[in-house]
Amino acid sequence: MAPTAGRESWLDGTESSGTTPLETPTATPLATPISARSVRWEKDVEDAAAGALQRPLLYKRGTNTTSQMAIVGANTCPIESLDYEIVENDVYNQDWRSRGKLQIFQYQVLKWVLALLVGVVVGLVGFFSNIAVENIAGFKLLLTGDLMLQNRYLAAFELYIGCNAVLAAAAAALCAYVAPAAAGSGIPEVKAYLNGIDAHSILAPSTLLVKILGSVLGVSAGFVLGKEGPMVHTGSCVASLLAQGGSRKYGLTWNWIRYFKNDLDRRDLITCGAAAGVAAAFRAPVGGVLFALEEVTSWWRSALLWRTFSTTAVATMVLHALITYCRGGHCGLFGKGGLIMFDLSSRQATYTATDLAAVVLLAVLGGLLGALFNFLVDRVLRAYSIVNEKGACYKIVLTVTISVITSCCTFGLPWLTACTPCPPELASKCPTIGRSGNFKNFQCPPGQYNALASLFFNTNDDAIRNLFSAGYDREFGVSTLLTFFTTVYTLGLLTYGVAVPSGLFIPVILSGASFGRLAGTLLGSVSGLDPGLFALLGAAAFLGGTMRMTVSVCVILLELTNDLLLLPLIMLVLLIAKTVADCFNKGVYEQIVRMKGLPYLEVHAEPCTRSLVAGDVVSGPLVTFSSVERVGTVVHTLRSTGHNGFPVIEDPPFAPAPELCGLVLRSHLLVLLQGRIFTSDRVKTGAAEVFRRLAPFDFAKAGSGKGIKVDDLDLTEEEMDMYMDLHPITNRSPYTVVENMSLAKAAVLFRGLGLRHMCVLPRTQGVSMPVDTFVSSYVRAFRCITHV
């Protein structure tokens, strides 16, 4: 009849256990596929008939859960899909018919109010994160510097490494014990969520709390990581918390927000939150909108563009107001930076053909090194997964170990560099003692500075600012820049994957800026561009080579530096770096999404799927309901399967011949069962009986962990023998395709419409198809069947 597709089902249409390896339970042998053309496909069919498909397809090691922390081979079975389709049943139609103009106006106003509120909250979070990092890290560096001024170098090292280890251990403990989903950047998870993948706990309140605290502790611990990526995840968590009316688990609920009890409105608000996170991290409102459009969202509408821009504008205004207040010295060690983090606008950027050749060379090398970075990140995460899966204690030990290595490098390497005399024209600024600046005194005598300490013995933001600085070309020598680049590049690889909230933006910008300044120093006799401008272009090249973003990165860099004159060069560097890197592998976030087993649906289908049709990826047995079904049958089916959507068949005496009536959701069946709208005879009750006992908002999607469970139902034997009419809750117009539609076209339709279920119908009406079920999402179906 009408097989259905859902991302949460597997090869046989049943849900695997979350505590065992992903196995393919006993199922009816696959029928010969309609378009079995390839030898490999025919071999798979023969293997299926011989029972070869009974072996596990994806193993779950040890005690892996759906933690978002570099778990390779994790069990993806508990991950379900979001449903952006409007369920047009009698309940939905009655709900909209009953709404007056005032309620519709309230709904529209509420969407804007929540979007602006997300901007305010994310702006506050971003500001207080900056304050915490600047004060904690600044206090640590001041104490260490005071000990070094007293020539107590061993005590300074012990204090430095001890503070970093304690901060790192605290961040790792929070991630390991409280919210494992908070580890890492969070951008791949947000990207997957906005693609329709509802992974466990990625937007939970506990994840939000640990993301904020862990990011502050991790950055303050001196790791080569940034808080920019985690801010995207933080903004999405804030938007999710507001959109679902709070959290019943933590006693925070708002009933007035019931209008947003659907995945579509939540998706839009979470998109606004992700954009606000970028705006708060980089102080780049336009870049935040473009980042959401280019990188994280899978669906975009013109109305969403306007709302997202308003959210980022509010976040930026909140930041501006609070930063202005802090300029008066009211925020402790908080710096004097404004909305422009690295102001380069005072330079005159004129370039010649020789300069362009040097820039092209820098872009090519940045693309190559960016692709190499992605390759090595993949290998490091796979190695770390072996340690992380052993338990929380191992995660903490690994994090502290990397912290000790980082501290030894940042404190020890400057000792290998000779002191440099301060330039006479900068005598008032050199050396820097007890404050952030370019010329760190470190262990040098008066009147001299340590160039490597100016980069290592600073916060990451100050190190970037020093690399972008201009006016004194010989501030950093070739050996200094080469040492710093090699160290930061390596530490960035080793740090990403430990159990702390860690972003990749800052490590990539640091590596790119140091490499760019190194190239500018070496090419100084050929090119007339300032080494600081080369540092900016190197950062752009590395961002293009690792993250493969162009428009959003270009605008973010312009908003960071306020240097519009470099727009043509930045665009050229990004395009070349991305093109070169695309020849070797995918972007780092795409790689991590694939590594974590998240069934992400790409915009374009795999070319090999054009030789398959929708009927080739169906399996059985198909689970259906009659339009008026026995209560016991419904309860038994819900308990024995993990499907979230079921075809409803209209059969005699309600139709002359069996035909597809529509699709009913598991959540709606549970609401109807809990309301006990039953009849003793097999008759239609109509929508009036449902509306008399239940309100339309009873069928709205609950927040995380709030839904009704089938085990919560307490039905008597007498009630189990009664009947329930499914017509009022059945979606009468589900999306359907014919069995001979190409799999590529069906996949594009499935993704483009944001579906969770799709019905596959026979070409000839009245002819029953084999008892099959459309397998999972297109991605997971293809991987399962072809053993990719």
Give the percent of the chain with pLDDT over 70. 80
Which range among 60-69, 300-309, 702-711 shows the weakest confidence by mean pLDDT?
60-69
Buried b (16+ CB within 10 A) or exposed e, 562-600: ebeebeebbebbbebbbbbbeeebbbbbbbbbebbbbbb
pLDDT of residue 399: 95
pLDDT of residue 704: 56
Beta-carbon neighbour count of residue 643 at 10 Å? 20
d(CA 537, CA 366): 9
Q: Which residue spans within 343-445 are E strands per DSSP?
A: 420-421
d(CA 466, CA 450): 13
State the amino acid at position 776 in one-letter form. S
pLDDT tens per residue, range 559-598: 888 878 888 999 999 999 999 999 999 999 999 998 888 8
Higher pLDDT, 775 or 306: 306
Angle at CA of residue 626, ends 622 and 630, nearest 5°: 110
Angle at CA of residue 732, ends 729 and 738, nearest 5°: 135
State the amino acid at position 309 in one-letter form. F
Instruction: Give percent helix, percent strand, percent coil of the chain, each to the nearest 5.
Output: 55, 5, 35
Going by the DSSP 8-state scheme, the letter that residue 85 receives in this structure is S
Distance of CA 725 to the CA centre of its chain: 41
Tell me phi and psi for residue 658, to 5 degrees.
-60, 135
pLDDT of residue 566: 84
d(CA 280, CA 317): 10
pLDDT of residue 445: 81
State the amino acid at position 649 in one-letter form. I
Q: Is the peptide bond before 21 cis (omega within 30 degrees of 0)?
A: no
The bridge status of strand 773-774 relative to strand 618-619 is: antiparallel
d(CA 136, CA 141): 9
User: How far is residue 415 from each of residues 141, 411, 441, 452, measured CA to CA in Å?
Assistant: 17, 8, 12, 9
Which range among 119-133, 435-449, 518-532 shows the weakest confidence by mean pLDDT?
435-449
pLDDT tens per residue, range 28-64: 333 334 443 333 334 443 444 444 333 333 333 333 3
Beta-carbon neighbour count of residue 151 at 10 Å? 9
d(CA 183, CA 387): 15
d(CA 292, CA 555): 13
Return the SS3 of 448: strand
Average pLDDT over residues 312-325: 91
Nearest CA-CA partner of 425 in 467, 465, 475: 475
d(CA 41, CA 410): 55
pLDDT tens per residue, range 13-33: 333 333 333 333 333 333 334
Tell me phi and psi for residue 263, to 5 degrees.
-70, -30
Lookup result for tokens 């954009």:
275
- Cβ atoms of residues 452 and 414 within 8 Å: yes
Average pLDDT over residues 541-564: 92
Sign of the dihedral through C-alpha 498, 500, 501, 504: negative
d(CA 642, CA 10): 10
d(CA 644, CA 638): 9
Which helix or strand (DSSP H or E) is residue 666 part of? helix 666-675
Rg (CA), the chain: 29
Angle at CA of residue 156, ends 155 and 162, nearest 5°: 85
Average pLDDT over residues 500-518: 93
- Cβ atoms of residues 540 and 570 within 8 Å: yes
159-163's contacts with Cβ under 8 Å and 24+ in sequence apart are 160/407, 160/411, 161/404, 161/407, 161/408, 161/411, 163/221
Token reading at 328:
């008066």
| Dihedral angle over CA of 774, 780, 786, 788, nearest 10 | 180
Going by the DSSP 8-state scheme, the letter that residue 174 receives in this structure is I
- Cβ atoms of residues 686 and 725 within 8 Å: yes
Paired with 650 in beta bridges are: 659
d(CA 771, CA 404): 59
Q: How confident is the model at residue 772 (pLDDT cuts 50, 70, 90)?
A: very low
- Cβ atoms of residues 295 and 589 within 8 Å: yes
Average pLDDT over residues 368-391: 93
Q: How confident is the model at residue 207 (pLDDT cuts 50, 70, 90)?
A: very high
User: How far is residue 181 from each of residues 215, 624, 641, measured CA to CA in Å?
Assistant: 13, 36, 27
d(CA 542, CA 573): 9
The bridge status of strand 625-626 relative to strand 645-650 is: parallel
Residue 663 neighbours by CB under 8 Å, 6+ apart: 4, 645, 646, 647, 648, 730, 731, 734, 757, 759
Which range among 157-166, 260-269, 279-288 shows the weakest confidence by mean pLDDT?
260-269
